Amino acid sequence: MRFQPVIGLEVHVQLKTASKIFCGCSTAFGSEPNSQTCPVCLGLPGALPVLNKQVVEFAIQAGLATNCSITPRSVFARKNYFYPDLPKGYQISQFEDPICQHGWLDIQVEGQESKRIGITRIHMEEDAGKLVHGDVSGLEEGSGVDLNRACTPLLEVVSEPDLRSSDEAVSYLKQLHQIVTWLGICDGNMEEGSFRCDANVSVMPVGSETLGTRAEIKNVNSFKFVKQAIEYEIRRQIELIEDGATVVQETRLFDPTSGTTRSMRSKEEAHDYRYFPDPDLVPLVIDDAWVQRTRDELPELPEQRMQRFMTEWDLSAYDAEVLTASRSLAEYFEACVALHVNAKAVSNWMMGEITRALNDSGTSIDCCPVTPRLLVELLKLIEGGTISGKIAKTVFEAMWQSGKEPATIVQEQGLVQVSDSGAIEAIIDEILTREAGQVAEFRSGKDKLFGFFVGQVMKASKGKANPAVVNELLLSKLKG
Ligand SMILES: [Zn+2]
């Protein structure tokens, strides 16, 4: 029997607000435990939550960018459960009327047609605190509770079970990650847990209409792990069924070292949480004007920008996609082309030298020492024939290190390209005399040697001879 995997993702997106969702405490990461707390986020009796307007604004942005409709009157609910990192005994979340509903994203998996993945809902909620174990933060032994993270604003983005493979799941996740970081509502840092995902995985026989029993894999925090966890889980469930056993509905944990998932607890149903509307928070009413204003202020999104780069600057789909991988990258590109240079040359340099240098140094494009203006100055030197493309790479390295103007570097290091045919001719004559044997071979039909002569001339000129002039002169001298 062949099986069809069915996957749905629940993604937790930590919002980049300065303060928490229901109090004024800071959301900064990595502070002294419990230093960013107050009666509200500590869950002290009688303390009342006040909704952070920025959270609502970000939620509307996320909803509009993922084609959701915005719920005019949404409600906060209490999700009741006990855990030491949750002092109130409930998490404030949304249940029946989430802020965003019925959205979608079109994903692209290599070699397949684009596919639409439904987004069931996006709701706002608060994060819990965390437990700290062992000899850390002044704790000599045992465990402690750090409530700095309690009440940090989250969006939970729930997809329809429309995904059919680990590749589709990763593609969906990457697109969602790109959108929330593009909007600037989430820092996207997966290691710190700012963007993490639970995967619901089940399998059913191909052709069946009935969904299999699903397992939920909790808190997977890298694209690679999501792929591994889903693939392992699909194999595990198929083997179970083929062995005549049944899949149990449960919550499982992914272990990155072994690449496997293991049972954590039996999966609770929504009714286990006894959701009910939070009496401390009034229903949230969002009028059309608010939605319209947010829609008007929404930045041009990655997909639209990619299409525009292709039509406006005649870039290939591949180039346009790479250059819109992040908003900063796209803005760097536009800052360059606004200075009137060849868009294709900008694109080539960004995808070549700049990407390489950023990767090597672990720098992001926001901190790129070669600013758009400097890159454009460099390209102008190449286009004007002052330096060759090869020398430009040397100049680029020096710019990266020193931040100096490319023209200054060319001056200081004597890198000006030699286009003077007299000077180049002298070098060529010397080489042709020296390599008389090779010249004879070339003239007797060994055309491949041409590259050898070009190489010798470039070497003798320390890379500064204008390649076009070298080619032309060499050819006329060798043929003559
Ligand atoms: Zn607080």
pLDDT, tens digit (0-9, with 9 covering 90-100), for 366-413: 899 999 999 999 999 998 888 888 889 999 999 999 989 999 998 888
Distance CA 398, CA 409 (A): 7
Does 135 have pLDDT greater than 70? no
> Could you tell me which residues come within 8 angstroms of residue 197 by beta carbon, excluding any fewer than 6 positions away?
9, 10, 11, 12, 173, 219, 220, 221, 226
Pairing of strands 250-255, 215-220: parallel
User: What's the pLDDT tens digit per position in 165-177?
Assistant: 999 999 999 999 9
Beta strands 250-255 and 260-266, pairing class: antiparallel
The mean per-residue pLDDT over the stretch 113-136 comes to: 91
Identify the sign of the CA torsion 307, 309, 313, 317.
Answer: negative
Burial of 185 (0-12, 13-18, 19+ CB in 10 A): buried
Based on DSSP, count helices (H) and strands (E) in the chain, helices before strands.
17, 16
pLDDT on residue 368:
92
279 and 76 in contact (C-beta within 8 Å)? no
- Measured in Å, residue 21 CA sits from the centre of ligand 1 at 9
Å from CA of 124 to ligand 1 middle = 17
**332 near 374, Cβ under 8 Å?**
no
Element (DSSP H or E) covering residue 180: helix 166-183
Q: Which domains does the chain have, with CATH numbers?
A: 3-291 (no CATH), 300-412 (no CATH), 421-479 (1.10.10.410)
> Structure pTM?
0.84
In the reported structure, the alpha carbon of residue 149 is separated from the centroid of ligand 1 by a whole-number distance in angstroms of 10
pLDDT at 462 over 90: no
Using the mean position of ligand 1's atoms as its centre, give its distance from the Cα of residue 20 in Å.
7
The 10 Å CB-count burial string (b at 16+, else e) for 322-361 is bbbbbbebbebbbebbeeebbbebbbebbbebbeebbeee
Residue 12's CB is within 10 A of a number of other CB atoms, namely 19
Residue 283 tokens, joined = 């229903």
How remote is the CA of residue 38 from the centroid of ligand 1, in Å?
A: 4
Condensed to tens digits (0 to 9), the pLDDT of residues 318-375 reads 999 999 999 999 999 999 999 977 899 999 999 999 999 999 998 889 899 999 999 9
The predicted-structure confidence for 432-445, as pLDDT tens digits, reads as follows 999 888 888 888 88
- Kindly give the distance from the C-alpha atom of residue 77 to the centroid of ligand 1, in angstroms, as a whole number: 19
Instruction: Name the E strands within 89-142.
Output: 90-93, 100-107, 115-126, 130-133
